[in-house]
Amino acid sequence: MPLRPDFDDAALTRAGRDLAWDLGPAEPVVPRPLRRAVRPRRRRALPRIVAAAGVIALLSVLASERRNAEPSPEDGRLAGLFAERAAPPAWESVAADRYRIAGSEEASATARRRTGGGPREDSLALGRFAVHETPFLRLTLAEAPEADRTLFVTLARRAAERDGLAVVRTAERGRIESRFGPLDTLDATLSGPGGTRACTAFRLAEAPVGLDGWLCAPLGQLPEPHAVGCAVDRFGARPEVLLRAEVIDLLTRPERPVCAPPEPVAAAAAEPRRKRGRPNAATPRNSAKAWQEPGTTAALARHSTDTR
């Protein structure tokens, strides 16, 4: 068959290019991988559940049998040993006739000792926490100091045991001086059935015996550092008592001249009869304690006399 003169190789090439332009670019054909044949898993969940239930039932039976069995003497001995180690050592009350607060016979005292002739603790309280118009002082001398406890822990334990108080907030204050040595102090707000008061807690630092407590000033004010040191200086021993050597060495230290000796609170002296005034007129207190307390009528009268 004769070919057309215009249908040669060049014409076929041009026709193929025109067809490719009309169809556009074609994506390469990539063969897809064949799927692997997955073997069906055998369902073994039910046997495992049955085995677990059997083990749990067996353990329950063994536990019930051990609970119902009588304890052996060895188990009782071990239980008693652990209970003895875990329980805190008990206290026994003793006579509180060793210490006093100089210048005040109204201080209440309590004492206790560890069972078996252990170390002793004596605590004295002057004033009442619920009476906010007067100071409140708590002093505790322990023959075995608590060196591993912080002042906050000691304050929280003493306040809860002695007076049923809780520590609301605290603030560092530093060290102050006393005749027994330096005192670590801590400003604290104590709260209890008698209300809330601002106090300063203290503890004797670097001493063979423990001496700690707190002082609360009247009318919600913090006590001055000088007042705290002088209040601690008033702690002493009663005459003709037998004390340990380290306690005697502590209490026989010389007094500081900055703290004046406390004046006993004497009853008001009888005064001559005065003219009858108004029935509701305030009468100033003339006791030594009233003249020293700020804010009383006697102190105000003394101030007016000094300014004249």
Residue 293: pLDDT over 70? no
Taking only the tens place, the pLDDT of each residue in 161-170 is 999 999 999 9
Residue 78: pLDDT over 60? no
Tokens of 104: 């005040």
Q: Pick the residue with more confidence: 66 or 92?
A: 92
Residue 44's pLDDT band (boundaries 50, 70, 90)?
low
Task: Report the b/e string of 236-273 with b at 16+ CB within 10 A.
Answer: ebeeeeebeeebeebbeeeeeeebeebeeeeeeeeeee
Q: What pLDDT does 299 receive?
A: 37
Cβ atoms 251, 239 nearer than 8 A: no
Least confident of 2-16, 30-44, 208-222, 261-275: 261-275
Taking only the tens place, the pLDDT of each residue in 118-128 is 899 999 999 99
Q: Which whole number is the average pLDDT over 31-38?
A: 65
**Percentage of the chain surpassing pLDDT 70?**
66
Q: What pLDDT does 242 receive?
A: 92
Residue 182 per-residue DSSP state: -
Residue 72's pLDDT band (boundaries 50, 70, 90)?
low
**First-residue to last-residue Cα distance in the chain:** 154
Residue 265's pLDDT band (boundaries 50, 70, 90)?
very low
Residue 267: pLDDT over 60? no
For the beta carbon of residue 137, count every other beta carbon within 10 angstroms. 23
Q: Which whole number is the average pLDDT over 165-178?
A: 93
Integer Cα distance of 226 and 176 in angstroms: 8
Looking at 90-240, which runs of residues are DSSP E strands?
91-93, 99-101, 108-114, 120-126, 136-142, 166-176, 183-192, 195-204, 210-216, 235-237
Task: Give Cα 86 distance to the centre of its chain.
Answer: 21
Highest averaged pLDDT of the listed ranges 206-220, 252-266, 285-299: 206-220
Taking only the tens place, the pLDDT of each residue in 129-158 is 999 999 999 999 999 887 678 999 999 999
Residue 190: pLDDT over 70? yes
pTM score, whole prediction: 0.58
Q: What pLDDT does 172 receive?
A: 86
Q: Which whole number is the average pLDDT over 243-272?
A: 72
Residue 110's pLDDT band (boundaries 50, 70, 90)?
very high
Residue 53: pLDDT over 80? yes
Q: What pLDDT does 252 receive?
A: 93
For the beta carbon of residue 202, count every other beta carbon within 10 angstroms. 28
Residue 14: phi and psi, rounded to 5, are -65, -40
Contacts of 208 (CB under 8 A, 6+ apart): 145, 246, 250
3-state DSSP assignment of residue 119? coil
Q: Which whole number is the average pLDDT over 271-289?
A: 42
Q: Which whole number is the average pLDDT over 270-278?
A: 42
Q: Pick the residue with more confidence: 65 or 275?
A: 65
Strand pairing category for 210-216 and 136-142: antiparallel
> How many degrees, rounded to 5, is the angle at CA 229 between CA 226 and CA 233?
135
Least confident of 54-68, 179-193, 293-307: 293-307
Q: Which of 165, 159, 200, 162 is nearest to 183 (CA)?
A: 200
Q: Which of 209, 222, 218, 217 is nearest to 181 (CA)?
A: 209
